Amino acid sequence: MEETTQNNVISMPRIGDKAPSFKAVTTQGNINFPQDYSGRWVILFSHPADFTPVCTSEFMTFASLEDKFAEANCKLVGLSVDGLYSHIAWLRTIKDKIEYKGMKNVEVKFPLIEDITMNVAKTYGMIQPNEDSTKAVRAVFFIDPKGVIRAMIYYPLSLGRNFEELYRVLVALQTADAFNVATPADWNPGDDVIVPPAGSCGTAKDRMEGKEDMKCYDWFFCTKELDKEKIKKALFGKKSEKIIMN
Ligand code: BEZ
């Protein structure tokens, strides 16, 4: 979608769109996005500025959870409109100097994109001028192994993200794909799931008559149990025994 406000063309990708492609310089070398991540999930997220407190708390938290996301076949890619040397200096400061909530010596190993032209940030709708015209908001894009945007969350500058929620969203999307179900409010692995996925009626009459293994609250609202171990096996395969999933 493209929208024109005064002199700015603002592009807003939508759920279901192919993630816009770009090449960029990062703290881990050059990337060709999203092609380099084909076959994996990837979370592309932006932050307003290096050397700022909320962003520092977020990077330390996300870096500490990187292995957990990797186990779920998901890579992390950060972005801000700062330059590469600022990124490098900030990440080094985090590693060498910052101890926060029990996290210390935190090494950010995932790529952090430099976007001084703001080209990527504008393409992804991360510059939201009524919030700030020179900094990216805290955007999060969940992109699937085929390069399709599956979920997006935007937060304002003042609000640090909840990274357990980002993990929950990732696992919920993967579970919906693997089992052809939808996930209800506040779902976590082990909770009942919704069948069939929202938007289709399926065999409502059969279900209301109890012909399938489901609990129906009304003809349009049926759930079934989905064991956490089944989800772990489907999502993590052989590694599943070692995975701790909340
Ligand atoms: C922060 O990360 O602390 C921050 C960055 C930009 C504006 C406001 C807060």
Active site residues: 55
Burial of residue 210, with CB atoms counted within 10 A of its CB: 0-12 exposed, 13-18 middle, 19 or more buried: exposed
What digits encode the pLDDT tens for the residues 3-44?
544 445 567 999 999 999 999 999 999 999 999 999 999 999
Would you mind telling me the total number of residues written for the chain in this entry? 246
Ligand 1 centre to CA of 188 (Å) is 30
* Cis peptide bond N-terminal to 196, omega within 30: yes
Task: Give CA separation, 237 vs 173, 174, 244, in Å.
Answer: 17, 13, 13
Is the minimum distance from the CB of 157 to ligand 1 under 6 angstroms?
A: yes
Q: Rounded to the nearest 5°, which phi and psi values hold at 80?
A: -145, 170
Contact 199, 172 (CB under 8 A): no
Is the minimum distance from the CB of 60 to ligand 1 under 6 angstroms?
A: no
How far, in Å, CA of 97 to CA of 92, rounded?
8
Burial of residue 48, with CB atoms counted within 10 A of its CB: 0-12 exposed, 13-18 middle, 19 or more buried: buried
The reported pTM is 0.92
Ligand 1 centre to CA of 6 (Å) is 26
Is the minimum distance from the CB of 54 to ligand 1 under 6 angstroms?
A: yes
pLDDT above 80 (res 130): yes
Ligand 1 centre to CA of 51 (Å) is 9
